[in-house]
């Protein structure tokens, strides 16, 4: 029997492109956004009591990765993109029903809006449900995952002086920790692990309303080259 679901809201996120979004929530604490709730959930009654909660689970749709044909195996980027695992052993975006989940920090609660940080959600992501994080039930000391025991190691991020000055200026204009956001996202190395580009190859993504460009001058090191207003 088919079922249908309806979004309760949409995320307005710092991430305007999929590339460089952290592969898990909370890896970039400076990544912030707002969940704008739709009627009837935009009323104060729907979020009453949520101000007592520090973190929430978001259930959402991978709206740019929905597929008609289900995948039984996927190639997780963390494993280099060369090793296949069963889809249910991964958090790949290629889900049977396109459903994802993230635990994020709840910074502020307003009727119709939740202010979030530590997000890994693309701008415009449809949210299906919100659930409060319950520490005694959701944090299990005995839990294990031999596929991903620890967070990926961060790699050093250097800056061209002009790029750093521009990031600081744009961060002040936006009222956002843009410099920290860039460093936290790039330090996880958003490339697939199998890519070994030439040093002169440039990469880029959009965060908020700025374009960020960087390269890999040597293995295991990133240098931010430019931070410019998008479309300028």
Task: Identify whether 4 is part of a domain.
Answer: no
Quick one: 130 and 195 in the same domain? Answer: no
Query: Do 21 and 82 reside in the same domain of the chain?
Result: yes
Task: Evaluate whether residue 146 is within a structural domain.
Answer: no
Spatial contact of 60 and 125, defined as CB atoms under 8 Å apart: yes
Average pLDDT value over all residues in the chain: 93
127 and 162 in a common domain = no
| Structural domain contains residue 1 | no
H or E segment to which residue 204 belongs: strand 202-207
Closest C-alpha among 6, 1, 36, 4 to residue 128: 6
123 and 94 in one domain?
yes
User: Tens digits of per-residue pLDDT, 91-110?
Assistant: 888 888 999 999 999 999 99
Tokens of 125: 């992501």
Q: Are residues 34 and 117 in the same domain?
A: yes
- Count the domains in the chain: 2
Residues 61 and 108 in one domain: yes
Q: Which residues of 212-224 are buried (b: 16+ CB within 10 A; e: fewer)?
A: bebbbeeeeebbb
Kindly state whether residues 184 and 220 are assigned to the same domain.
yes
Please say whether the beta carbons of 9 and 35 come within 8 A. Answer: yes
Does 69 lie in the same domain as 21? yes
| 148 in any annotated domain | no
**pLDDT tens digits for range 150-204:** 888 889 999 999 999 999 999 999 999 999 999 999 999 988 766 677 778 999 9
Same domain, residue pair 13 and 120: yes
Any domain includes 147? no
Q: Which of 138, 170, 204 is the last residue of a domain?
A: 138
Hey, CA dihedral for 111, 115, 120, 121, is it positive or negative? positive
pLDDT of residue 78: 67
- Whether residue 143 is contained in a domain is answered as no
The pair of structure tokens assigned to 181 is 């956001």
Q: What is the pTM of this model?
A: 0.92
Q: How far is CA 112 from CA 15, 37, 46, in A?
A: 21, 5, 9
| CB proximity list for 189: less than 8 A, separation 6 or greater | 152, 155, 222
Same domain, 128 and 215: no
Query: Tokens representing 94?
Result: 């290629």
The domain of 180 spans 157-229
CATH code, domain with 80: 2.40.30.70
Q: Which of 74, 30, 50, 81 is nearest to 196 (CA)?
A: 81
Q: What are phi and psi of 166, to 5 degrees?
A: -65, -40
Q: 47: helix, coil or strand?
A: helix
């Amino acid at each position: 029997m088919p079922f249908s679901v309806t979004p309760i809201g949409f995320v307005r996120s710092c991430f305007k492109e999929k590339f460089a979004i952290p592969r898990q929530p909370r890896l970039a604490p400076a990544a912030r956004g707002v969940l704008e709730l739709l009627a009837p959930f935009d009323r104060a009654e729907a979020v009453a009591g949520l101000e007592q909660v520090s973190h929430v689970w978001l259930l959402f749709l991978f709206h740019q990765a929905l597929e008609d044909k289900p995948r039984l195996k996927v190639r997780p980027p963390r494993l280099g993109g060369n090793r296949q695992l069963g889809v249910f052993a991964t958090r790949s975006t290629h889900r049977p029903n396109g459903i994802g989940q993230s635990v994020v920090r709840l910074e502020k609660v307003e009727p119709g809006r939740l202010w979030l940080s530590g997000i890994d959600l693309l701008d415009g992501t449809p949210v299906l449900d919100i659930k409060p994080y319950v520490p005694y039930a959701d944090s299990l000391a005995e839990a294990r995952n031999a596929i991903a025991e620890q967070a990926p190691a961060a790699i050093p991020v250097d800056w061209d002086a002009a790029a750093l000055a521009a990031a600081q200026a744009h961060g002040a204009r936006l009222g956002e920790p843009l410099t920290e956001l860039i460093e936290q996202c790039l330090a996880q190395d958003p490339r697939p692990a199998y890519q070994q580009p030439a040093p002169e190859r440039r990469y880029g993504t959009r965060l908020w309303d700025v374009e960020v460009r960087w390269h890999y001058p040597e293995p295991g090191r990133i240098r931010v080259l430019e931070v410019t207003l998008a479309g300028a």
